[in-house]
Amino acid sequence: MDKNLLSKKAACNSHGQDSSYFLGWQEYEKNPYDPITNPTGIIQMGLAENQLSFDLIESWLENHPNPAGFKRDGASIFRELALFQDYRGFPPFKKALANYMGYLRGNKVRFEPNNLVLAAGATSANETLMFCLAGPGEAFLLPTPYYPGFDRDLKWRTGVEIVPIRCSSSNGFKITKAALEEAYQRAKKCNLGVRGVLITNPSNPLGTTTTRDELDTLLDFVVAKGIHLISDEIYSGTNFGSPGFVSVAEAMIGRDHNVSHRVHIVYSLSKDLGLPGFRVGAIYSKNNSVVAAATKMSSFGLISSHTQYLLSELLSDEGFTRKYTEENRKRLKKRHGQLVEGLRNAGVGCLRSNAGLYCWVDMRHLLESNTFEGEMKLWNKMVYEVGLNISPGSSCHCNEPGWFRVCFANMSADTLNVAIRRLKTFIDSGRRSRPAPERIRVIVFARKKGKPSFGRIHRRISQWSLGDLYRRINGGVRSALRAVRYNLTVDAA
Amino acid sequence: MRLVVPLQGVVQGRGGLVLGSLLPCALFYVLQLYLKRKNRSSPSSSATSVSELPAGIPRTPSRGLLSSKTSTGPAPISSRAASVAGPSDSPYYVGFKKCREDPYHPASNPNGVMQLGLAENQLSLDLLRDWLAEILKDLALDGEEGNLSVSGLATYQPFDGLIELKMAVAGFMSHVMQGSVSFNPSRIILTAGATPAIETLSFCLADPGDAFLVPSPYYPGFDRDIKWRTGIDLIPAPCRSTDNFSLNIATLERAYNQAKKRGIKVRAVLVSNPSNPVGNLLNRETLYDLLDFAMAKNIHLISDEVYAGSIHGNEEFVSIAEVLQTQDFDRSRVHIIYGLSKDLSVPGFRVGVIYSFNEHVLSAASKFARFSSISVPSQRLLVSMLADSKFITRYVGQNKKRLQKMYALFVDALKQLGVDCVKSTGGFYCWADMSKFIRPYSEKGELELWAKLLNVAKINITPGSSCHCIEPGWFRCCFTTLSEDDIPVVIERMMIVINNHNDYH
């Protein structure tokens, strides 16, 4: 059948699913690791899923058969649930969800259930917000690196563009006022009307929580430009280390109404409770127009009433949620520590992180060339030779090659050890037989100071890169030249 | 003065050829530049036709909030959102709201609003409830949990639905269509209800600014499901009471040509079978004609068959899939919408189906399905339910009997009032002719009667104008939300209003 009979969206192949982020997944599907049946298979380290604490949920569900059986206080409420399709959501569930969100923020902020709009997962919530806040040909600014799925979720059906805010490792990828301004101007030059900024806090893929200063900078920026701020806080329950998690809701305290109607929070239970299959997402906004529009649009992704009821009971059990959250944080911290330690032993560092289900790993020193081609070569080796599906920074639109996102919460401790061992083996073998890095042998004529100018003194300078040569010449050093090896500084995690 | 002089010269022809042409050209370009810069600086107007509101969506006062650029005013929302943010003034939604605020209950709220505007089947929920109770009892005894267990719930599952549920739904679809056609699970995409199913399919088949032909009267929800976010327009092909509101290919042809004249690209025909709101079936002849029409115009055919298992009449339901089995048509242009909300009475669980013979559509829809996936625990529950074939057979049989009984009672009761209904075969509603009670014989008269029925008689029925019916005076009345005892109450209330309405006029 003629593909011309389909819509442009359906007929085109550029839907972001052909980036390396997704290709790695496909390779994993073909050859998945199993400790017994397929010990040489690919280990999935590209999926940010929390499988560490599901046993706690399981035992709660087993001890509370009533919600799963459509019973409330012993009486059947099947009829009520089977017919419930109100797009305003099941009130007890919204109340329980709002309370849980407040708890995760140390109860420093209170969420009103009436300002909460439900959606079938954060994927649906983010798309709905795009439909509400921007039109085709308009843009949102996103700090890089960002979750590769945004290229699909935010742009696909909405027609909205993403303009990256370039962050760099020199300051730990923090968002600066200059970077925001630069991105805004860049968007303007491309004739894209900027409608807002979207951040993930805690960040995906960095694993860091956004600092109070960054939040203040962002809030000042959106007020000055008259645009929106979306804070995707789906990992808010995974903050296991210091500094603590500061929500944009907290940063808004004390600011006036001019700010509050611009800020929208996206939440989901897929990461914090490890329930991605339940498809539970939410939008929280104090902007009544956004709430009204998003509520009506939620008809396109309502959560099953059965699930809403089940979760309303689970989240209302505050003793359980407290115990779960604390235990989950402990397990995440331990697993995170295991990965970081293992990487350190292999001579690999990562960005210091305190949240999330992954680490932002620095493999710049393993690149053959400091380019994205080099990164792709290394990624290919990781997937096909080492057997680890990790996500390359280029798929996250990182400016600098050599960074990778490595997930640790979707496997057992033993599997993680296997992965670390494989990586160490690869790196060690690489060190022994690695070809000399691209360096340029430079013979420089140097004149020693104070000596008579007859007779030239040659020094053979080796192991300099062109960059070093440039720096030296620029620096004006003309005598006593020394070979300098380029050093990589590693942040100890 | 200096500026004026050369202009004067140009106007009077004293400037010579060069000045006479240079200056006007220069002025012209300056004007263009100015206009271009003005347009560029207001980004919302650089958007494509999607930001233009399709006709029929009510504009709301909240549009006042919209401003293209401001740093001190309220943050603007998109035009798509602004058009839906305000309260809807469509009778379809106004009636829902009133019912929700003041719902009728025979014992606790006998003066509440009776809901005859929501096509929900409440007749057979007790069968489902009892099945569930049995299952849980058996689980408690056996200790095994099977599909209701919690293991495996943690992980991500395919966004377009569990393969077990696809197989179960394929089997169920075949069952309710009397086994006349078998459905292939690999051609199914599952979504959270038929609402996202039709929207997702629309995203796959047409671009913003394109249109679908749809015979009217049609389900008011299509205006939301198809037009809101996709930017696709709906062009009604009006059906008439003289034909019993059945589909007429000549009408489709006329609507298609008119659209073509206006430069609108039609991408598909959307039919509902059994039809909503009329309740009649498409016979084999019409289905062949529809397929021929779609082939001739090189467009798609979407068949919304959500009520396929809710037949209360004697006519046999024929699915478009059945016709395709026997004839050599280009199947890749045919797509079916289905769901469990109507036939299985579980709208709360959110299960919709896109069934397509087109590989590209399936591939695209399965990727779009991530925005409207069904909750895994509910999927698991439904797999259990649908797998119990003895229960499903019993349910379908009992449900049909109850529908038939209710339909007969309700239509007879309306007849006593002097209200005739189109003879319908399927669905949860009847299409009632109240044109003799409205004055004037126009949409205004119809809405006046509707308002009286809602506010005075406290009965919510759907006026034909919400369904884009071109003949005034027709109303959709759902009977599956009533019990037998409710029917005399409805008639009594309606009688008061109708008599008063007549006396007044």
Give the whole-angstrom CA distance, residue A406 versus residue A350: 10
Helix, strand, coil fractions of chain A, as percent rounded to 5: 45, 15, 40
Residue type at A12 in one-letter notation: C
CATH number of the structural domain A57-320:
3.40.640.10
CB contact under 8 A, A10 and B349: no
Shortest distance between the Cα of A12 and any Cα of chain B, in A, equals 9
Decide if B373 touches A, using CB distance below 8 A.
Answer: yes
Going by C-beta distance under 8 Å and a sequence separation of 6 or more, which residues neighbour residue B467? Answer: B216, B217, B218, B219, B220, B277, B476
Q: Please give the DSSP secondary-structure letter assigned to residue A74.
A: T
CB contact under 8 A, B75 and A138: no
> A25: pLDDT confidence band, cut at 50, 70 and 90?
confident
CB contact under 8 A, B129 and A79: yes
User: Residue A438 has what pLDDT?
Assistant: 46
A208 with A202: CB under 8 angstroms?
Answer: yes
Question: Is 50 exceeded by the pLDDT of residue A492?
Answer: no
- Locus of tokens 């033993």: A414
Active site residue A21: no
Q: In this structure, how many other beta carbons lie within 10 angstroms of the beta carbon of residue B282?
A: 24
Question: Is 90 exceeded by the pLDDT of residue A372?
Answer: yes
Query: Phi, psi at residue A486, to the nearest 5°?
Result: -70, 130
Decide if A297 touches B, using CB distance below 8 A.
Answer: yes
Residues 281-340 on B with a CB inside 8 Å of A are: 298-300, 330, 332-333
CB contact under 8 A, A5 and B70: no
Picking from B62, B80, B346, the nearest residue to A131 by CB comes out as B80
Q: What are the CA-CA distances from residue B72 to residues A197, A259, A317, B68, B352 (Å)?
A: 17, 10, 43, 12, 44
Interface test with A, best of B41, B45, B52, B78 (most A CBs within 10 A): B78
**Region A54-60 average pLDDT:** 91
- Which is catalytic among the residues A21, A147, A184, A267? A147
For chain B, the C-alpha Rg in angstroms (whole number) is: 27
Decide if B48 touches A, using CB distance below 8 A.
Answer: yes
CB contact under 8 A, B375 and A79: no
For chain A, the C-alpha Rg in angstroms (whole number) is: 26
Residues 395-414 on B with a CB inside 8 Å of A are: none
User: Residue B20 has what pLDDT?
Assistant: 66
Query: If you measure CA to CA, which chain B residue comes closest to A64?
Result: B150
Picking from A70, A280, A293, the nearest residue to B85 by CB comes out as A293
CB contact under 8 A, B78 and A17: no
**Fold topology of A18-52+330-416:** Aspartate Aminotransferase, domain 1 (3.90.1150)
- Specify the pairing of strand A440-446 against strand A457-464: antiparallel
Question: Using one digit for the tens of pLDDT, what is the confidence trace for A388-435?
Answer: 999 999 999 999 999 999 999 999 999 999 999 999 999 988 766 555
User: Residue B415 has what pLDDT?
Assistant: 94
User: Residue B330 has what pLDDT?
Assistant: 85
Q: What are the CA-CA distances from residue B493 to residues A172, B116, B406 (Å)?
A: 71, 13, 19
User: Residue B59 has what pLDDT?
Assistant: 36
B212-238 burial: b if 16+ Cβ within 10 Å, else e:
bbbbbbbbbbbbbbbbbbbbbbbbbbb
> A299: pLDDT confidence band, cut at 50, 70 and 90?
very high
Decide if A14 touches B, using CB distance below 8 A.
Answer: no
Give the whole-angstrom CA distance, residue A119 versus residue B371: 9
- CB pairs below 8 Å between A and B: how many? 271
Among candidate residues B347, B257, B242, the one with its CA nearest the CA of residue B293: B257
Active site residue A491: no
Shortest distance between the Cα of B348 and any Cα of chain A, in A, equals 5
Active site residue A234: yes
Q: Which positions in chain B touch A219 (Cβ < 8 Å)? A: none
Domain boundaries, chain A: 18-52+330-416, 57-320, 437-492
CB contact under 8 A, A159 and B50: yes
Interface test with A, best of B40, B41, B80 (most A CBs within 10 A): B80
Picking from A7, A54, A261, the nearest residue to B203 by CB comes out as A7
Query: If you measure CA to CA, which chain A residue comes closest to B330?
Result: A1
CB contact under 8 A, B350 and A300: no
Sign of CA dihedral A7, A11, A14, A18: positive
Question: Is 60 exceeded by the pLDDT of residue A185?
Answer: yes
Decide if B195 touches A, using CB distance below 8 A.
Answer: yes
Question: Is 70 exceeded by the pLDDT of residue A184?
Answer: yes
Question: Is 70 exceeded by the pLDDT of residue A454?
Answer: no
Q: Which positions in chain A touch B50 (Cβ < 8 Å)? A: 135-136, 159
Give the whole-angstrom CA distance, residue A63 versus residue A169: 48
- Which is catalytic among the residues A151, A153, A232, A272? A232
Decide if A303 touches B, using CB distance below 8 A.
Answer: yes
Picking from A287, A292, A304, the nearest residue to B378 by CB comes out as A304
Calculate what percentage of chain A has a pLDDT beyond 70: 85
Q: Which positions in chain A touch B230 (Cβ < 8 Å)? A: 157
Decide if A135 touches B, using CB distance below 8 A.
Answer: yes
User: Residue B136 has what pLDDT?
Assistant: 78
Picking from B43, B120, B156, the nearest residue to A276 by CB comes out as B156
Decide if A15 touches B, using CB distance below 8 A.
Answer: yes
Q: Residue A279: beta bridge partners? A: none
Which domains does chain B carry?
Answer: 1-48+67-75 (no CATH), 89-124+393-504 (3.90.1150.10), 153-390 (3.40.640.10)
Decide if A261 touches B, using CB distance below 8 A.
Answer: yes
B228 with B88: CB under 8 angstroms?
Answer: no
Out of A26-40, A58-72, A189-203, A399-413, least confident range: A58-72
CB contact under 8 A, A296 and B196: no
CB contact under 8 A, A133 and B81: yes
User: Residue B53 has what pLDDT?
Assistant: 32
Q: Which regions of chain B are under pLDDT 50?
A: 1, 3, 41-72, 144
Higher pLDDT among residues A83 and B75, named by residue: A83
